A and B are shown apart, each in its own frame.
Chain A
Amino acid sequence: MFLYLVKRLGLGALIIVVAVVMLYGMIHAVPGDPASIILGPKATPELRAALHARMGLDDPFPVQVARFLANVLRGDLGTDVFSDRPVAEMVFDQLPHTLALIVTAIVWAMALGIPLGCYSALHRNTAIDRITGVLSVGCIAIPSFLVALYALLVFAVGLRWLPAIGAGEPGDLASQARHLVLPAFAVGLGWVGYIARLVRASMLETLGENHVRTARAFGLPERVVITRYVLRIAILPTITVIGIGIGYLLSSAVFIEVVFARPGIGKLIIDSVTTRNYPIVMGSVLVSTVLFVVSTTLSDLVNALLDPRIRSGL
């Protein structure tokens, strides 16, 4: 297990390093000069040269990458060209909003999806199982920004039950919670269906295992068999999928934050993309990538801990 842990963590770190190099290399791969992209077409040669020197673009490429990597390791993601604020500070200001959205979304999706999946598996091929099946697939198929638009139209514009934009007053938890309802609904809806299908499938598989038959033969009450012996195993794939799903959740958070004009890392990136503020884009992409790599590594480790067969795979 220890060897696996070291190898898996090493791989995670290596992937992050290669990702940083790739992101940094992308600036140099595209034709044109990053300084003139940032400064616009009207920049004077002196301005361009000054920015070049400030961004260290005159050094050879490997030196630049090494310096950038060293800075990232120290938590320095560079400075915003326009406001002169450190990029790391701007990104970490926005990150809590996005994390709140993602966590709320996945929690409500699990709270509804797991019982639905269990019910479907235990009442297989009944009308309710069929209906949840069709609804689940439907929910998975709808892009989250479409759900967001309709939620906005119905609950915020039509019925006026919930606020439409922003993240609520800072410090006022009730208002922040009200502002979180619709975005979290939009991000999580597809996941409800997905988790329900996943739990159903792995429940059905586990129900057929020998240890379940043994537990039943011992005369344990059905409720105990299901919760202690079936669900505990059937939940494992869901944990893996959620670990990998952080990437998708981050992606859909971008859309949702735009639709609801919510502060967050996605909104920050979109605003920076339109002004071509590359340091901020790179900083936020980097932070979200690290978040994603960490969560997939964690879910791999959890799985290896629970299932010894995986450890030999790497």
Chain B
Amino acid sequence: MTTAAAERGRVAAGLRDGLARLVREPLGLAGLVIVAVIVASAVLADLVVPYDPIAINVRERIEAPSLAHPLGTDQLGRDTLSRVIMGGRVALHVALVSIGSALAVGLVLGMIAGFGPRWLDNALILGFDTVRSFPTVMFALAVVALVGPSLNTVILVIVVTSIPIYARVVRTQTLSLKGREFILAERAMGASGARILTLHVLPNVIGPLLILASMDIPGVIAFEAGLSFLGLGVKPPTPSWGSILNDGLALIRNTPG
């Protein structure tokens, strides 16, 4: 058996093992199914929505849930279920784009801080700590006040406030790797700093970082919903989970049924 085939075999065995563990853990399995359904409905939103989520139908406004409209309709007669499904798309888009960019920038800055000269490290750390010292929503509001509300503003705020978290983790890891023998050996062989960072440090720091990032996704989704709820995220008529809630709050005393 060649090494590539052996590697494939090991990966397959690992996957089987993981799946088997998942099936034994009912809570984990339930979570996986729920997330899979939501992600699938967001990705395939165009195919699964029963109505156009921004089509206004004034005759059927604020209706209670029925067979035709399983979640009822909003103040403009738009189908709430369709809006919720489409809103998932906004949530996923924001989460993936912002976490992905923050991860990339945080990774680079963190490695520079950990590997670079002491003064640069100190300056970067001060910058990270300062950004973290703003309460996130307050910082977001300051940015929105300046550049105006939009989906890109939300993404920008999340990227800026998440970079320090990732960068700090990467920095600590890089610092501890820096003194290890295999890095020393690389240096002795005359490898450049860039080569050491990309080929030897990066693979060692990326694992924990990805776990950290995946745990941040729910927080980011809640944050986007929160800003849209305040009317400072996506612009109408684009549906977002937050703006749907805000429409509901305005009509909370007109609850049908």
Given known pairs A145-B229, A146-B245, A149-B248, the reply for A26 and B146 (CB within 8 Å) is: yes
Given that A26-B142, A141-B218, A149-B245 are known contacts, is A293 also in contact with B133, CB under 8 Å in the complex? yes
Contact B147 A255 (CB under 8 A): no
Interface size on B, residues (CB 8 A): 34
Stretch at the interface among B36-44, B75-83, B123-131, B183-191: B123-131
B27, B137, B232: residue with the most chain A Cβ atoms closer than 10 Å = B137
Contact digits for A1-44, partner B, Cβ 8 Å, 1 yes 0 no: 00000000001001110110011001100100000010000000
Q: A15-B130, A157-B253 are in contact. List 5 more A-B contacts (CB 8 A).
A: A143-B222, A250-B138, A251-B137, A273-B144, A292-B135
Q: Which residues of A contact B147 (CB under 8 A)?
A: 30
A157-B255 in contact (CB<8A): yes
| Contacting residues of chain A (268-291) with chain B, CB-CB under 8 angstroms | 269-270, 272-274, 276-278, 281-282, 284-285, 288-289
Pick the 10 closest A-B CB pairs, nearest first: A251-B137, A247-B135, A143-B222, A250-B135, A18-B130, A281-B145, A273-B145, A285-B138, A285-B142, A251-B135
Nearest-CB residue, chain B, relative to A19: B130
B226 CB–A CB distance under 8 Å: yes
| Residue pair B143, A259 in contact (C-beta under 8 Å) | no
CA distance A93 to B146 in the complex (A): 24
Hey, what's the 0/1 contact readout for A119-155 against B, CB within 8 Å counting as 1? 0000000000000001000000101011001001100
How far does the alpha carbon of A134 sit from the alpha carbon of B248 in the complex, in Å? Answer: 28
Q: Are A254 and B245 in contact (CB under 8 A)?
A: no
Q: Is the CB of B141 within 8 A of A281?
A: yes
* A285→B226 contact, CB < 8 A: no
**Interface of A (DSSP majority class):** helix
Name B's interface SS.
helix
Q: Are B255 and A254 in contact (CB under 8 A)?
A: no
- Indicate whether A285 sits within 8 Å of B134 (C-beta atoms), given known contacts A18-B127, A255-B226, A269-B141: yes
Chain B residues, CB < 8 A from A196: none
List residues of chain A with CB within 8 A of the CB of B138. 250-251, 254, 269, 284-285, 288-289
Q: Which residues of A contact B145 (CB under 8 A)?
A: 272-273, 276-278, 281
A145 touches B130 (CB 8 A): no
Q: Do the beta carbons of A258 and B133 come within 8 Å of each other?
A: no
Q: Are the C-beta atoms of A15 and B146 separated by less than 8 Å?
A: no
CB distance from B167 to the nearest CB of A (A): 16
Known: A14-B126, A18-B126, A145-B245. A282 touches B229 (CB 8 A): no
Which residues on B sit within 8 Å (CB–CB) of A14? 126
Q: A14-B126, A157-B255 are in contact. Are A27 and B146 (CB under 8 A)?
A: yes
Contact of B249 with A259 in the complex, beta carbons under 8 Å? yes
Given contacts A15-B129, A30-B146, A143-B225, contact A254 B253 (CB under 8 A): no
Contact A292 B230 (CB under 8 A): no
Query: Taking the nearest CB of chain A, how far is it from the CB of B120, in angstroms?
Result: 16
B47 within 8 A of A: no
The 25 listed contacts between A and B (C-beta, < 8 Å) are A16-B133, A19-B134, A22-B131, A30-B146, A143-B226, A145-B229, A146-B245, A149-B252, A157-B253, A246-B135, A247-B135, A247-B136, A248-B135, A250-B137, A251-B135, A252-B137, A254-B230, A255-B230, A258-B230, A266-B137, A270-B141, A273-B145, A285-B138, A289-B134, A292-B135
CA distance A122 to B248 in the complex (A): 43
